[in-house]
């Protein structure tokens, strides 16, 4: 089970509309439960974002790091990490 920082959970709550048409969580507890259920991951760099997508069968070879960061599933965290949520 992943441990999500409070900063990560708050960021997801604030930005969840970039991936979902309707809110999927209304509190920190709901956000944590949702992220655990969909097995969201936190990675340290855009290189790791790219590796995650490649390992899961996505062809991201033609995407720049800026384009990777703009993917709906990628949430940039204030501490420089990235949350990846597969909707």
Asked whether the predicted pLDDT for residue 2 surpasses 70, the reply is no
Is 64 part of any domain? yes
Per the model's pLDDT, the better-predicted residue between 1 and 81 turns out to be 81
Is 21 part of any domain? yes
User: Could you report the per-residue pLDDT of 38-74, keeping only the tens digit for each?
Assistant: 999 999 999 999 999 999 999 999 999 999 999 999 9
* Domain encompassing residue 49: 6-84
What are the two backbone dihedrals, phi and then psi, of residue 82, each rounded to the nearest 5 degrees? -135, 135
User: Could you report the per-residue pLDDT of 10-22, keeping only the tens digit for each?
Assistant: 999 999 999 999 9
Residues 6+ away with beta carbon under 8 Å from 83: 4, 8, 11, 12, 35, 40, 41, 42, 74, 75, 77
Is 16 part of any domain? yes
Is 31 part of any domain? yes
Confidence of residue 33 (pLDDT cuts 50, 70, 90): very high
1: tokens are 């089970």
Tell me what pLDDT residue 1 has: 45
Is 1 part of any domain? no
| Number of domains forming the structure of the chain | 1
Quote the CA–CA distance of 87 and 84 in Å, as a whole number.
10
Is 10 part of any domain? yes
> How many residues can be counted in the chain?
87
Q: Using an 8 Å Cβ cutoff, are 86 and 73 in contact?
A: yes
């Amino acid at each position: 089970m992943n441990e999500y920082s409070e900063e990560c959970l708050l960021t997801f709550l604030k930005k969840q509309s970039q991936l979902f048409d309707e809110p999927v969580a209304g509190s920190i507890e709901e956000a944590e439960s949702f992220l655990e259920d969909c097995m969201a991951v936190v990675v340290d760099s855009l290189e790791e974002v790219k590796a995650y997508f490649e390992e899961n069968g996505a062809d991201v070879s033609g995407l720049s790091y800026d384009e990777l960061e703009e993917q709906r599933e990628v949430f940039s965290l204030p501490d420089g990490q990235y949350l990846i949520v597969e909707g």
